[in-house]
């Protein structure tokens, strides 16, 4: 498991550093804005940024390496703060069925839908789940993701949820990417608990979460608050136990209806409330009061052909930080490009390019509780950044598809290429 990096508290730059990176415009994303520094420089020591600013003002460091870029821009590393990358099988056949006119209810009645993913996940070994997750994660890394959150939630039993969480932890050890693990056992009702949702919540609270906490398998706890999943009262029980175990919480809320789950999340000082198509202004006010991040997921909105957008205007009005994420999952967002979500966030949800980029940098980091160490180009932050041979940040939003050429720096070192 990667070692956490703490912010540097010294205001004086050191006389020596490991490396200096020059020759491009810095897109610092401080306070959620571009905050451009033309012809900037970044000094790195021990995997952290120890100085950043205009190259003309750079101190006379002694350094081991200097990297000179010929123009372009440097952004913070991308943060994908909501994914479901670990699961068995895929649902491409069902996707084709739906496009051919078969209803979701008909597919579910035939054993499809989330149940098919649950069955495939339960049957898969850890190594099989790991191999499949690597196939999905590597394309995200190739376009600049340096921090990713991955949820469980397709095991829906103590054994299978723990298996998924162990795979998530293994991914964080195997690859040069910061992986945050989230326990989403309260994702759906397993078939063996049909009609006994409270008993399944008992299992999560009394048996699963204590093991998850004792074995350090999760960094947060999530739940799905919807009519077809779990009620606010049931979610509240999960959150109360999570808090007692010292685990922060997140929530899938207001995706399909308004149950004011986002306000519930805010009452529990949740890191984020996610989806939010049916959130109200009162929900936005509650989130603003506690700093809960709104995580917008345009991939699911697009694939499900939804028509109600998240209340972006209310989030702006009340200064709720807005993150964007891929929501990579087998049923509603089989997305392997976080950069595509930048464009979707702008075209579908009417975000500005600056808001969209903040959504996968500083606000994405805040949605994971990493605002002190990730998400901006500032002294004391982890040295995760990306050089792009582009003229302006909006180009990251503008181009559709394909992998833009880039140099990805992870903890102060150039990261190798990733191919699935």
Q: Is 403 annotated to bind ligand?
A: no
List all residues 6 or more positions away from 71 whose beta carbon is below 8 Å from its beta carbon.
23, 24, 25, 389
Would you state the structure tokens that stand for residue 362, as one six-digit string?
């500083």
Decide: helix, strand or coil at residue 248: coil
Q: Is 327 annotated to bind ligand?
A: yes
Q: Is 119 annotated to bind ligand?
A: no
Answer yes or no: are the C-beta atoms of 80 and 137 closer than 8 Å.
no
Q: Is 363 annotated to bind ligand?
A: no
Q: Is 331 annotated to bind ligand?
A: yes
Q: Is 91 annotated to bind ligand?
A: yes
Q: Is 40 annotated to bind ligand?
A: no
Cβ atoms within 10 Å of 120's Cβ, excluding its own: 19
Judged on CB neighbours under 10 Å (0-12, 13-18, 19+), 97 is middle
Q: Is 154 annotated to bind ligand?
A: yes
Decide: helix, strand or coil at residue 336: coil
Q: Where are the beta strands (DSSP E) in 257-315?
A: 272-275, 293-296
Angle at 25 between CA 28 and CA 5, to 5 degrees: 40
- The Cα-based distances of 209 to 219, 242, 272, 286 in angstroms read 12, 7, 19, 27
Q: Is 28 annotated to bind ligand?
A: no
Q: Which residue positions form the known binding site for N-formimidoyl-L-glutamate?
A: 154, 329, 331
Q: Which residue positions form the known binding site?
A: 82, 84, 91, 154, 187, 252, 255, 327, 329, 331-332
Q: Which residue positions form the known binding site for Fe(3+)?
A: 82, 84, 252, 327
Q: Which residue positions form the known binding site for 4-imidazolone-5-propanoate?
A: 91, 154, 187, 255, 332
Q: Which residue positions form the known binding site for Zn(2+)?
A: 82, 84, 252, 327
């Amino acid at each position: 498991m990667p070692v956490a990096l703490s912010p540097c508290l010294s205001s004086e730059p050191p006389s020596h550093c490991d490396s200096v990176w020059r020759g491009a415009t810095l897109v610092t994303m401080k306070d959620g804005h571009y905050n451009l520094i033309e012809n900037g420089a970044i000094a790195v020591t021990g995997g952290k940024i120890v100085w950043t600013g205009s190259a003309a003002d750079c101190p006379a460091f002694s350094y081991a390496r200097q990297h000179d870029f010929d123009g372009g821009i440097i952004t913070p590393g991308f943060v994908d703060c909501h994914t479901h990358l670990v699961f068995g099988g895929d649902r491409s056949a069902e996707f084709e069925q739906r496009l051919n006119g078969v209803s979701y209810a008909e597919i579910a009645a035939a054993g499809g839908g989330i149940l098919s993913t649950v069955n495939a996940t339960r049957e898969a070994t850890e190594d099989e789940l790991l191999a499949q997750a690597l196939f999905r994660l590597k394309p995200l890394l190739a376009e600049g993701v340096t921090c990713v959150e991955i949820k469980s939630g397709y095991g829906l039993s103590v054994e299978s949820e723990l298996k998924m969480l162990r795979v998530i932890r293994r991914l964080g050890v195997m690859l040069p990417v910061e992986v945050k693990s989230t326990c989403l056992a309260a994702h759906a009702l397993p078939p063996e608990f049909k009609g006994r949702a409270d008993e399944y919540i008992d299992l999560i609270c009394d048996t699963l979460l204590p093991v998850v906490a004792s074995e350090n398998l999760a960094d947060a706890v999530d739940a799905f608050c919807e009519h077809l999943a779990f009620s606010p009262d049931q979610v509240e029980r999960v959150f109360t136990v999570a808090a007692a175990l010292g685990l922060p919480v997140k929530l899938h809320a207001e995706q399909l209806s308004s149950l004011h789950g986002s306000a519930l999340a805010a009452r529990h000082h949740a890191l984020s409330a996610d989806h939010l198509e049916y959130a109200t202004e009162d929900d936005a006010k509650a989130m603003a009061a506690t700093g809960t991040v709104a995580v917008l997921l345009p991939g699911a909105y697009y694939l499900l052909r939804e028509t109600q957008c998240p209340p972006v205007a209310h989030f702006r009005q009340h200064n709720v930080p807005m993150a964007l994420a891929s929501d990579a999952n087998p049923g509603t967002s089989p997305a392997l490009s976080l950069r595509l979500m930048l464009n979707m966030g702008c075209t579908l949800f009417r975000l500005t390019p600056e808001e969209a980029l903040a959504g996968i940098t500083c606000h994405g980091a805040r949605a994971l509780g990493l605002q002190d160490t990730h998400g901006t180009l500032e002294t004391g932050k982890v040295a995760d950044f990306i050089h792009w041979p582009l003229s302006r940040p909006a180009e990251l939003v503008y181009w559709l598809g394909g992998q833009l050429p880039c140099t990805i720096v992870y903890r102060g070192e150039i990261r190798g290429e990733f191919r699935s």
